[in-house]
């Protein structure tokens, strides 16, 4: 019977030591994880994800754009033989939802214009990035005209006489995005 109390005395120091080691390991791992998280957050802020205070307040006032996708269109291209065609999906980026309702009223005319503009292109033109950008620019310009907004033409040479510029409202269409573009 004298051996039993001696065995309990030896187990208690081992269990206390083991408990201290486990607690130290948990604290070390937890502290390391928290330090890693803070370090990664600091690095992300230094990489330019942080906005200056002035632009952050400006962006907060800016309204998110509205997107108006059109149904995909299939058009014959102007290639020799007439056996090439394109399937084009267009999405308009519009200033706000109210302007999107205005655009929806003119969609039949806009779709017709897109089909006409696209059918004048060859597959070689549309397969290049410049060709796609040029088509998107023309769609944006012509769609704005259909909506009743004047679009200023880019001029290569300055005019001899400077005319007084009349302030006209800008088109609510801000961009033309291609959601689908297949040329066959």
More confident residue, 114 or 82: 114
Instruction: Judge if 89 and 173 occupy the same domain.
Output: yes
Instruction: Judge if 75 and 34 occupy the same domain.
Output: no
Decide which of 46, 61, 76 is a domain's last residue. Answer: 61
Residue 86 is assigned to a structural domain of this protein: yes
Question: Helix, strand, or coil here: 53?
Answer: helix
Residue 52 is assigned to a structural domain of this protein: yes
Which residue do the tokens 């291209």 mark?
A: 77
Decide which of 44, 61, 78 is a domain's last residue. Answer: 61
Q: Rounded distance, CA 6 to CA 21, Å?
A: 24
Give residue 5's pLDDT band: very low, low, confident or very high (50, 70, 90): low
Residue 162 is assigned to a structural domain of this protein: no
More confident residue, 99 or 30: 99
Residue 142 is assigned to a structural domain of this protein: yes
Residue 122 is assigned to a structural domain of this protein: yes
The whole-angstrom distance between residue 115's C-alpha and the CA centroid of its chain comes to 26
168-181 tens-digit pLDDT: 678 999 999 999 99
The domain that holds 175 is classified in CATH as 3.30.1130
Q: What is the mean pLDDT of residues 1-25?
A: 66
pLDDT above 80: residue 99: yes
Average pLDDT taken over every residue of the chain: 79
Cα Rg of the chain (Å, integer): 33
Range with top average pLDDT, 36-45, 46-55, 61-70, 121-130:
121-130
Give residue 8's pLDDT band: very low, low, confident or very high (50, 70, 90): low
pTM: 0.60
Residue 121 is assigned to a structural domain of this protein: yes
Domain range for 173: 66-151+169-183
Residue 14 is assigned to a structural domain of this protein: yes
Residue 88 is assigned to a structural domain of this protein: yes
């Amino acid at each position: 019977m004298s051996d039993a109390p001696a065995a309990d005395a030896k187990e208690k120091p081992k269990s206390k030591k083991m408990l201290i080691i486990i607690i130290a390991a948990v604290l070390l791992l937890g502290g390391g994880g928290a330090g890693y998280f803070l370090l990664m957050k600091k690095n992300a802020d230094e990489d330019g994800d942080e906005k200056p205070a002035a632009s952050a307040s400006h962006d907060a006032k800016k309204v998110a754009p509205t997107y108006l996708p059109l149904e995909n269109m299939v058009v014959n291209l102007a290639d020799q033989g007439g056996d090439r065609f394109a399937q084009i999906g267009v999405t308009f980026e519009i200033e706000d939802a109210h302007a999107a309702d205005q655009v929806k009223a003119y969609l039949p005319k806009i779709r017709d214009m897109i089909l006409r503009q696209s059918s004048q292109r060859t597959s070689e033109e549309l397969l290049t990035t410049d060709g796609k950008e040029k088509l998107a620019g023309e769609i944006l310009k012509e769609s704005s005209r259909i909506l009743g907004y004047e679009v200023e033409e880019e001029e290569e040479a300055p005019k001899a006489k400077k005319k007084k510029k009349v302030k006209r409202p800008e088109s609510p269409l801000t961009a033309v995005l291609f959601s689908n573009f297949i040329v066959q």
